[in-house]
Amino acid sequence: MSEQKGKPNRPKKIPGHSSFFHKGRKIVLATMSAFSLLFWTDFSPIFASFRGIQVMESKVQVLTLKEISFNEGNFAAKIQIPYLEGLKNKELEKSLNEKYRKEGEQLFEEFKKEMEEMKNSGGFLNVDSGFFVKTDTERLLSIGRFTTMTQASSSSTVKYDNIDKIDGVLITLPSLFKNDDYIDVISENIKLQMIEKMKADPNLVYWVETGEGNQGMAKPFEKISPDQNFYISEEGKLVISFDKYEVGPGIMGIQEFEIPTEIIADLLVNDLYIR
């Protein structure tokens, strides 16, 4: 993690007040000494992300808490763990940071366990995990955490957290709607989008019933889960996300579907997030 030192302001000399300046200078020097000590100490992640006088309290930042790296023969892992700073709701901030830390450390423990089981069989295992900011507006922050695991084949997942920075709440999919009617409405729209996309591009394959025969197809997509993975775009659109292999063959990778606001407008609790 990078660390930047803030630059303390030096007091200006006031004519006729040399003794006052002399005392003030002692205080400033003492403060500078303590400030320097802070940045040379093995300190907590909170101080590791400190940015001195340049940080505004209302500024929400997504930083790297730590990076776990491992590389030995056929086995490699790179896991970046995010850290949130600046949320008004400190309890929410603390719970999310704890969740991210546990997720990252648990992923590394699972990697090590899998590696030990594979060492004598000449296997190969690579884990790459990190995070990105998908949406960052005055109100909304959507953070994505991705994991790609490669063995004989690869699997990819993305998990999103959507945060209302102003009200300090975590936005869940059910919390956006008046009742669970959204599940069927969104699911039917996604099916239509899948069929239209396959008509437009013969190279695309989704596991969806088309009415034209689906021999050999994996179990077709029926409905999203009530807490389906999603994010809200900067344009205020609801985007549903599916992991690799969830709605199509592996070559399709992670799939996203933007839901037209007009089909869900009457189901929404309000228009605070979705427009």
Are 70 and 141 in the same domain? yes
Give domain status of residue 184, yes or no. yes
Are 162 and 178 in the same domain? no
Minimal CA–CA distance to 100: which of 53, 57, 160, 33? 160
pLDDT band at 211 (very low <50, low <70, confident <90, very high): confident
Are 258 and 213 in the same domain? yes
The amino acid at 29: L
Query: What is the CB neighbour count within 10 angstroms for residue 123?
Result: 14
Are 185 and 218 in the same domain? yes
Give domain status of residue 8, yes or no. no
Are 76 and 27 in the same domain? no
| 129-181 pLDDT, tens digit each | 999 999 999 999 999 999 999 998 899 999 999 999 999 999 999 999 999 99
Are 64 and 39 in the same domain? no
pLDDT band at 20 (very low <50, low <70, confident <90, very high): very low
Are 186 and 250 in the same domain? yes
Are 159 and 193 in the same domain? no
pLDDT band at 217 (very low <50, low <70, confident <90, very high): low
Give domain status of residue 4, yes or no. no
Instruction: Show Cβ contacts of residue 1 under 8 Å, excluding neighbours closer than 6 positions.
Output: 45, 48, 49, 63, 64, 65, 66
| Residue 2: pLDDT over 90 | no
Are 254 and 185 in the same domain? yes
pTM: 0.77
pLDDT for res 122? 82
Are 183 and 257 in the same domain? yes
Are 164 and 72 in the same domain? yes
Domain boundary among 171, 196, 231: 171
Chain centroid to Cα 82, Å, comes to: 8
Helices (H), the chain: 18-39, 45-48, 90-118, 181-200, 261-264
Residue 261's CATH number: 3.90.640.20
Give domain status of residue 53, yes or no. no
Q: How many domains does the chain have?
A: 3
| Residue 71: pLDDT over 70 | yes
Are 211 and 243 in the same domain? yes
Average pLDDT, the chain: 83
Residue 79's CATH number: 3.30.565.40
Give domain status of residue 165, yes or no. yes
Domain boundary among 110, 143, 171: 171
Give domain status of residue 29, yes or no. yes
Instruction: Show Cβ contacts of residue 131 under 8 Å, excluding neighbours closer than 6 positions.
Output: 62, 80, 81, 82, 100, 143, 144, 145, 146
Q: Return the CA Rg of the chain.
A: 25
Q: Which domain holds residue 84?
A: 58-171
Domain boundary among 121, 143, 171: 171
